[in-house]
Chain A
């Protein structure tokens, strides 16, 4: 009996299984998307650029759904800086104020049948800019106090961003301005809890102060006292480099703040020198690399290697056998006159970015150019060593700027802009030549700015005359180091303002150059 029941059961299951596979014609009915949800959206652009704080009205035209009920029209935004979808409003018309951080977003308009839960949407790219995110920022001083002037994208000038906004100028003359897209800041929320938020920020360095400002609106985020867990005895900022990590030289000592770790945007204690003590005194310049840097110690007359996670600065290795050796970079018996950053280039042979730069060196009354190339390791960092003939004008220059891709250095000689080709040729006329004269103006800063995405490749020169500054840009021709030297100065003038300027930043497409 049991056997019969079991047999019948198996037969039944077999029949059912077979039946499921026989003559299955399916019931597929492919229908066009427009048939299911026939809404057609028009009247909107695919790309928008909005100024931070501006208000806008967008109106969508929706056709093809006449007579359809239960429709919902919705606008929402998300993007890199708004990772969660943020609903802006409902209806075909949207009035809104742009209060998002500057950056890139996607704005969506959606028409949804709320009964059938089907929708049609339209995606718009939105770039939000603050007046600072596309501006030239010039660090200048009046009466020995530092402020920032701004030349906006439309060429208009805003003088004294700090003092005109009711904020104090920085004490002392300007040293440097730097930008970071990732500054961590403690903010007290309404419930009294402190939250760490990421801000885009400017570091402003003067001879006597360091302050951090919100890069969207110049709100003061940190004073010098807030920038450190323990404020150094002397605040004398000399140089800084800001990327995801922050590097600072203050009073000859090196400070590092890792951007890859949980932090509150404060520097810790200065790193120790190569002998494990604080007995070192750095030149005010940093050649940055990934989680590393190269600096010059005036006390030991050595280039020093810095790795972010080492407590001590270290010496570079000597050259390995078989490779061209230009002499040790430790205890060089030389003085570094100028440290020039060129660029960082990815080297597929070592799978790392190589930091390129030049050092103008004086050794026993003779001058040299150290051609520097180092990755983030302590490998021997010189790839060239060029003796400068005594009549080279570059020896006496105090304002220099390297071309990023060609072996050349622009420098100031009185009111003249010159170029020096980095090569071993005895004839100085083949190495140096005058390019341009800014009659009666003193050159304060020279920099090659190259923005690949922005198709911007210019030599930018900042000059001072009679308590006023002027900023010029000379577009390079064909990616090389040449530009039209016959152009009238006023044709390449970006802006001018009051004050004695020393440096500038070019804000563009979410970055600083």
Chain B
């Protein structure tokens, strides 16, 4: 009985293996243009959102542009292929409002930039953010997705949605504690304001390999802080309620390493 069972089992395995070797038909790619938000590998480059702050934009500048990269699937075309981007959180709490917080995607001034150029398989679309008074005390979100039109269908599922958040409040850059802390020390709202408006540096997303340039920024920050403190009755301090006697500093005063 045991032998019979082993024979049957052996025959099943052989038959199974033979089936596995049966020739498979080749799947041919059909041109099926799709579009999706680009996403960098291993956390580098564009991910699924952009955190924007007018705090890092010079105070006299009332609009700022962020670019979002879209990639296509399928073959390049010989014509401009418009892409359709749809806001998905319109009307929701803290949703960005076109004309108030950002320039509408169909605004004539930018509409033609929402298209993939002939021969190209990617496009960077501009999202022009507007400095509204409400941003000084809050944040708004612009959630969007890729829509279908006569040129494209939505592409990769997990890369169909994107979010831009903007505010005029100070936002601690996500890489501060791993990168900028070595140049500017601990983060503070007033410190960042000084760096943006006095040092003239605001691109905290970039990674600078030239340490000489980082040293330059650091020394300039020291110098500008000294200039600020010399020309104001109170030293630059993170605590707005702290009163300083002439020449006095406190633990909340802005310092650079």
Interchain CB contact under 8 A, B216 and A268: yes
Indicate if the CB atoms of B211 and A262 lie closer than 8 Å. Answer: yes
How many A-B residue pairs have C-beta atoms within 8 angstroms? Tell me. 58
- Determine the distance from Cα of A311 to Cα of B225 in the docked complex, in whole angstroms: 12
Q: Does A167 contact B (CB under 8 A)?
A: no
Assess whether B211 is in contact with A258, with CB atoms less than 8 Å apart: yes
B212 partner, pick from A266, A270, A272, beta carbons under 8 A: A266
- Enumerate chain A residues within 8 angstroms of B256, measured Cβ to Cβ: 311
CB contact under 8 A between A272 and B211, given known A230-B216, A277-B230, A311-B256: no
Distance to closest chain B CB from A264 (angstroms): 6
C-alpha gap A14/B218 in the complex (Å): 73
| Chain A residues whose CB sits within 8 angstroms of the CB of B217 once the complex forms | 268
Query: With A230-B220, A258-B215, A268-B220 in contact, do A276 and B210 touch (Cβ < 8 Å)?
Result: no
Chain A residues positioned under 8 Å from B222 (CB to CB): 269, 272, 276, 311-312
> Which of B212, B226, B230, B256 lies at the interface centre, i.e. has the most chain A CB atoms within 10 A of its CB?
B212
Are B212 and A278 neighbours in the complex by a CB distance under 8 Å?
A: no
Q: When the two chains form the complex, which single residue of B210, B220, B226 contacts A263, counting CB atoms closer than 8 Å?
A: B210
Residues in chain A near residue B65, CB distance under 8 A: none
Which B208-250 residues sit within 8 Å CB-CB of chain A? 209-213, 215-220, 222-223, 226, 230
Partner of B226, one of A264, A265, A268, A272: A272
* Chain A CB within 10 A, most for which of B209, B211, B219: B219
Nearest-neighbor residue (CB-CB) of A268 within chain B: B216
Of chain B, the residue at the smallest CB distance from A275 is: B226
A271 interfacial contact with B, CB 8 Å: yes
A277 partner residues in chain B, CB cutoff 8 A:
226, 230
Cβ B211 vs Cβ A268 within 8 A = no
For B211, the chain A residues whose CB sits under 8 A away are: 258, 261-263
Known contacts A311-B218, A311-B256: does B212 contact A264 (CB below 8 Å)? Answer: yes
Q: Which residues of B contact A258 (CB under 8 A)?
A: 211-212, 215
Nearest CB on B from A291, distance (A) = 13
Q: Does A278 lie within 8 Å of B223, measured CB to CB?
A: yes
Tally of B interface residues using CB under 8 Å: 17
Residues from chain A with a CB closer than 8 A to the CB of B213 are 229, 263-264, 266, 268
Binary interface encoding of chain B residues 178-221 relative to chain A, with 1 for a CB under 8 A from any of its CBs, else 0? 00000000000000000000000000000001111101111110
CB within 8 Å for A276 and B226 given contacts A269-B220, A311-B218: yes
Residue pair A272, B210 in contact (C-beta under 8 Å): no
Q: A230-B220, A269-B220 are in contact. Are A278 and B215 (CB under 8 A)?
A: no
Please report the C-alpha to C-alpha distance between residue A483 and residue B137 in the assembled complex, in whole angstroms.
Answer: 80
- Are A270 and B219 within 8 A (Cβ)? yes
Q: CA–CA, A268 to B220, complex, Å?
A: 8
Q: With CB as the reference atom, state the residue of chain A lying closest to B209.
A: A262
B257: nearest residue on chain A (CB-CB)? A311
Residues of B within 8 A of A360 (CB): none
Question: What residues on A are CB-neighbors of B210 within 8 Å?
Answer: 262-264
Quick one: which of A264, A265, A270, A311 has the most chain B CB within 10 A? A311
How far does the alpha carbon of A263 sit from the alpha carbon of B226 in the complex, in Å?
26
Chain B positions within 8 Å of A257 at CB level: 212
Decide yes or no: A272 and B215 within 8 Å by CB, A262-B209, A262-B210 being known contacts: no
Nearest-Cβ distance from residue B76 to partner chain A, whole angstroms: 23
A272 B223 Cβ-Cβ under 8 A: yes
Q: Interface of chain B, helix or strand or loop or mixed?
A: helix
- Give, as a whole number of angstroms, the nearest-CB distance from A365 to chain B: 36
Whether the pair B219, A268 counts as a contact (CB closer than 8 A) is: yes
Which single residue of chain A is at the shortest CB-CB distance from B216?
Answer: A268
A276 nearest CB neighbor, chain B only: B226
Q: Which of B147-178 contact A (CB under 8 A)?
A: none
Chain A 297-336 interface 0/1 with B at a Cβ cutoff of 8 Å (1 = within): 0000000000000011000000000000000000000000
Q: Which residues of chain A in 207-243 are interfacial with respect to chain B, using CB atoms and an 8 Å cutoff?
A: 229-230
Closest-CB distance, B225 to chain A (whole angstroms): 9
Q: Report the nearest A residue to B213, measured CB to CB.
A: A229
A261 contacts which chain B residues (CB < 8 A)?
211-212, 215
Binary interface profile of A, 265-293, with partner B (CB < 8 Å = 1, else 0)? 11011111000111000000000000000
Chain B: minimal CB distance from A39 (Å): 49
Q: Are A278 and B226 in contact (CB under 8 A)?
A: yes
The CA of A19 and the CA of B26, in the complex, are separated in Å by 58
Chain A residues whose CB sits within 8 angstroms of the CB of B215 once the complex forms: 258, 261, 268
| Closest Cβ–Cβ distance, residue B256 to chain A (whole Å) | 7
Query: Whole-angstrom distance between the alpha carbons of A277 and B231 in the complex?
Result: 12
Which B residues lie within 8 Å of A270 (CB)?
A: 219, 223
Contact across chains for B212 and A269 when beta carbons are under 8 A apart: no
List CB contacts (< 8 Å) of A387-411 with chain B: none
Contact A269 B223 (CB under 8 A): yes
Considering only residues 67-120 of chain B, those with a C-beta below 8 Å from chain A are none
Which A residues are in CB contact (< 8 Å) with B220?
230, 268-269
In the complex, chain B residues whose CB is within 8 Å of the CB of A264: 210, 212-213
Instruction: State the Cβ distance, A325 to closest chain B Cβ, in Å.
Output: 31
Q: A-facing mask of B51-65, CB < 8 A → 1, else 0? A: 000000000000000
Bound Cα distance A258, B219 (Å): 14
Closest partner residue, chain A, to B226 (CB atom): A277
- Bound complex: CA A268 to CA B215 (Å): 7
Chain A neighbourhood of B219, CB < 8 A = 268-272, 311
Q: How many angstroms from the CA of A472 to the CA of B81 in the assembled complex? A: 78
Task: Check A269 against B216 for contact (C-beta < 8 Å).
Answer: yes
Look across to chain B and name the residue whose beta carbon is closest to the beta carbon of A272. Answer: B222
Residues of B within 8 A of A229 (CB): 212-213, 216
- Expressed in whole angstroms, the minimum distance between the Cβ of B214 and any Cβ of chain A is 9
Chain B residue at minimum C-beta to C-beta distance from A271: B219
Residue of B215, B217, B218, B256 with most chain A CB atoms under a 10 A cut-off:
B215
Complex contacts, A311 vs chain B, CB 8 Å: 218-219, 222, 256-257
A257 to B214, CA, bound (A): 12
A97 to B226, CA, bound (A): 56
CA A265 to CA B220, docked complex, whole Å = 18
Q: Measured between alpha carbons, how far is A270 from B215 in the docked complex, in Å?
A: 10
Q: How near does chain A come to B185, taking the closest CB pair, in angstroms?
A: 11
B212 touches A268 (CB 8 A): yes
Enumerate 9 A-B pairs (CB-CB under 8 Å) in ascending A order.
Answer: A229-B213, A230-B220, A263-B210, A268-B216, A269-B222, A272-B223, A272-B226, A278-B226, A311-B219
**What 5 A-B pairs are tightest by C-beta distance, nearest first?**
A268-B216, A263-B212, A269-B219, A261-B211, A311-B222
- Knowing that A258-B211, A271-B219 touch, tell me 14 more A-B residue pairs with CB under 8 angstroms: A229-B212, A229-B213, A258-B212, A261-B212, A262-B209, A263-B212, A264-B210, A264-B213, A268-B217, A269-B216, A269-B220, A270-B219, A278-B226, A312-B222
B residues neighboring A (CB under 8 Å): 209-213, 215-220, 222-223, 226, 230, 256-257
